[in-house]
Amino acid sequence: MMRVLSVASECVPLVKTGGLADVVGALPAALAAEGVDMRVLLPGYRPVLAALPAAETLWQDDGFFGGSARLLRGTAGGVSLLVLDAPHLYDRPGGPYLDEAGQDWPDNDARFAALSWMAAQIGAEGAGDWRPDLVHCHDWQAGLAPLYLKARGVDLPSVMTVHNMAFRGLTAPDRLAALALPGWAFQPEGMEFYGQISALKAGLVYGWKVTTVSPTYARELASPEFGAGLDGVIRARGADVSGILNGIDEAMWNPATDPHIAPYKAPRGKAKVSAALAEEMGLPEGDGPLCVVVSRLSAQKGLDLLLDVLPRLVARGGRLAMLGSGDPGLEAAWRRAAEDYPGVAVRIGYDEALSHRMIAGGDAILVPSRFEPCGLTQLYGLRYGTVPVVARTGGLADTVIDANPAALAAGVATGVQFAPVTAEALATALDRLCDLYADAPTFQKIQRNGMRAPVGWGVSAAAYAALYREIARPR
């Protein structure tokens, strides 16, 4: 059995700020069916340690990145974990990246360099009686691991996965010594990025293979528009870069057994769930589709464009329920929209159970992102017969079949795509949605198509396992 160390800054069910956690938490079980023994290395945040009261200590050091640290081994939520317990780095309130005021922790560079260093340590020396054949690094927080391995002279294969290129893990060059980084790597062909250290670039350059979370996003990253200044690195890596779609946990997201809603078989039972959602959110009856949004509120997600076209949707009899948080200006704007339009309801924050009820009860889920590496909410929508309306970008383009005349005639449409990502194009997409909704047989066909779409991890897990086998050597 191949042994793989997965290195990440978050993992469900222990700590989550976005889709990265879902992927990291789902991969071990999905890959077990492919003959892969995956262990997840996480920082020792308070919730992580609380879930491991009887963890075994495998390693310790009193002078580790400015304090004492231990490597712990345990299991939580069905995931085999290795945890870097370094109180001076992780035992603090707030989230994994931000303090209680919503500001970046000033020592984030050291916090995640330490995580990457520990990944290299495990790669070199093992963790107890377990030693990986390959290290799989997720986003900039684990991006220095391939470099630390190279600096130690450890010839261990690594895979660098980009979940979002917009976050590059930048810090000043005078931090080289404090982060135990080799000076020879601070160059344009290494981790140097316009005079700064980039942890993400280190992973892109020194990782044996680079993946991202959809084929379209892999192609987009090679362009200046989406490459965030690193498009040249992606082009230089050539065939070493590939896109593997994310999947979802089909047991957790199952409309027939979801504990957050009354069990039902969509779309036949969907009207009852929709009515319950409208009542819960305080929405009036309407002649058009009940649309839902479950999202971070940020410029990336295009929710400012949706604000611009709300009058058009409401005029067509549509309603909208939104759950999210993020940019304070967008939060305030959405609160005002809920005051201005009786057909709009807004909940600021995050509520896992409510997100399930919204995705189950909506007729359509709106994802107007300016860029989207993969996206998961559109996959949840497909699973629940909630028709996705998505921008034609990244994984959204790869997972939703547009209801154009050809797809409708062939009976394969699963949603509505639009491009370019502008208010005008979004308004046209919502008009198309309303027209489709008014044609009940056609709309129900689209819902059923979506519910049959492959959204689980089977195909993607096989692709990861094949990539691992291509580069790993039993040790």
Known binding-site positions for ADP-alpha-D-glucose: 16
Whole-angstrom Cα distance, residue 73 to residue 42?
A: 10
The tokens for 114 are 């330490």
Whole-angstrom Cα distance, residue 218 to residue 238?
A: 11
Contact 127, 60 (CB under 8 A): no
Sheet holding 196-198, edge to edge: 170-171, 196-198, 192-193
Whole-angstrom Cα distance, residue 21 to residue 350?
A: 15
Question: Whose CA is closest to 109, among 55, 67, 170, 33?
Answer: 170
Contact 215, 237 (CB under 8 A): no
Backbone angles phi, psi at 97, to 5 degrees: -120, -25
Whole-angstrom Cα distance, residue 256 to residue 267?
A: 11
Q: How many helices (H) and strands (E) does the chain have?
A: 18, 18
Residue reference for tokens 């054949």: 133
Contact 61, 55 (CB under 8 A): no
Q: How are beta strands 67-76 and 79-85 bridged, if at all?
A: antiparallel
Residue reference for tokens 């909208």: 320
Residue 425 host element (H or E): helix 423-438
Binding site: what residues are annotated? 16
Contact 55, 86 (CB under 8 A): no
Whole-angstrom Cα distance, residue 435 to residue 448?
A: 18
Question: Whose CA is closest to 34, among 7, 68, 1, 78?
Answer: 1
Whole-angstrom Cα distance, residue 145 to residue 121?
A: 9
DSSP secondary structure, 390-415, as one string: EESSHHHHHH--B--HHHHHHT---B
